[in-house]
Chain A
């Protein structure tokens, strides 16, 4: 009982309130898939950029106060945990960083995630990024300046 209560309360304070403020709604992933299939890859990427700017950025500011690498990563982690659409992997090696979103939605969803990632990491944080997509993942690679503080 304690575990269930803790899980339910944590979801309420960490996510549900934020989701409500950000206008998130629930839908079957199959319906979303059908709608995304009607888009061209370019439109899918533009939609990702749109969501990066109009939805994710305000969520980050509302939850963490400012858009920094740390707050962007924490937000993607939260979204991955509660939105149920993708797994989030962040790897580091020296100054190199790779952010990966793994999903099962196909190439157009990869375009979408790449669009959102490029918006956040390149256009908002000003990092020089190298995006890559496949059918089941979108990843973005960038270098942290030497001597910069740990970012997660």
Chain B
């Protein structure tokens, strides 16, 4: 269990009421609500890797991507991997590594709401899985992005398999540091 410290806060009355209601609705303590809000705030809202991110309806993302060909979606993903993901990763972590990239992917998955991210090892093979619900072109987009990211770190292409709601990246060998 993580170590905890006690803090005293003074909240505006309307906020205190809203937090108490949320705690009642979720059947958790006010401390748990405060921990959740603060963790999200420091790990996501204020993280240098996520500055400038915007919230958009997933339905709009589906519609915007639907018009593209699969190849165009992969191309857009490659561009995003090279021009957005890697420079933003460097903004948060001056020394790049595949472990840091994995940490950022996990954070994007946990807080960004666009996908789930998982990393497992089977028979000496690393398997990274991105699960999402916005259609095949978004799988193609992530395939393009991870292709760029992994090539940047491994110096060779990883094997990418995609479906309507998954993008799976696999390679044999140990992860470089």
Q: For chain B residues 23-56, which have a beta carbon within 8 Å of chain A? A: 33-34, 36-38, 40-41, 45, 50, 52-56
Bound: A19/B11 CA distance, A? 23
Residues B56 and A25 in contact, CB atoms below 8 Å apart: yes
Residues B57 and A22 in contact, CB atoms below 8 Å apart: yes
Closest 8 CB pairs of A and B: A8-B41, A12-B37, A35-B64, A26-B112, A25-B113, A13-B18, A8-B37, A55-B57
Residues of B within 8 A of A66 (CB): none
- B60-89 contact mask (Cβ, 8 Å, vs A): 1 or 0: 110111011000000010011001100000
The residue from A12, A39, A82 contacting B64, defined by CB atoms under 8 A apart: A39
* Interface-facing stretch out of A46-54, A94-102, A118-126, A135-143: A46-54
Residues A9 and B54 in contact, CB atoms below 8 Å apart: no
Please tell me if A133 contacts chain B, counting CB pairs below 8 Å: no
Listed residue (A19, A20, A30) with the most chain B CB atoms within 10 angstroms of its CB: A30
The residue from B11, B33, B57, B83 contacting A6, defined by CB atoms under 8 A apart: B11
Residues B41 and A24 in contact, CB atoms below 8 Å apart: no
Bound: A14/B36 CA distance, A? 14
Bound: A50/B64 CA distance, A? 12
Residues B56 and A9 in contact, CB atoms below 8 Å apart: no
Please tell me if B6 contacts chain A, counting CB pairs below 8 Å: no
Knowing A11-B41, A24-B55, A31-B76, say if A47 contacts B64 (CB, 8 Å): yes
Please tell me if B91 contacts chain A, counting CB pairs below 8 Å: no
Bound: A23/B19 CA distance, A? 22
Residue of A nearest to B10 (CB): A2
Residues B59 and A13 in contact, CB atoms below 8 Å apart: no
Residues B15 and A13 in contact, CB atoms below 8 Å apart: yes
Q: How far is the CB of B122 from chain A (nearest CB, A)?
A: 29
Please tell me if A32 contacts chain B, counting CB pairs below 8 Å: yes
Residues of B within 8 A of A32 (CB): 54, 56, 64
Please tell me if A106 contacts chain B, counting CB pairs below 8 Å: no
Bound: A9/B30 CA distance, A? 11
Residues of B within 8 A of A24 (CB): 55-58, 113
Residues of A within 8 A of B108 (CB): 26
Bound: A90/B45 CA distance, A? 27
Residue of B nearest to A36 (CB): B64
Residue of A nearest to B115 (CB): A25
The residue from A9, A26, A84 contacting B33, defined by CB atoms under 8 A apart: A9
Q: How far is the CB of A43 from chain B (nearest CB, A)?
A: 8
Residues B34 and A5 in contact, CB atoms below 8 Å apart: yes
Knowing A9-B37, A26-B50, say if A82 contacts B55 (CB, 8 Å): yes
Residues of B within 8 A of A43 (CB): 67
Residues A9 and B19 in contact, CB atoms below 8 Å apart: yes
Residues A39 and B54 in contact, CB atoms below 8 Å apart: no
Residues A27 and B56 in contact, CB atoms below 8 Å apart: yes
Residues of A within 8 A of B1 (CB): none
Residues B68 and A8 in contact, CB atoms below 8 Å apart: no
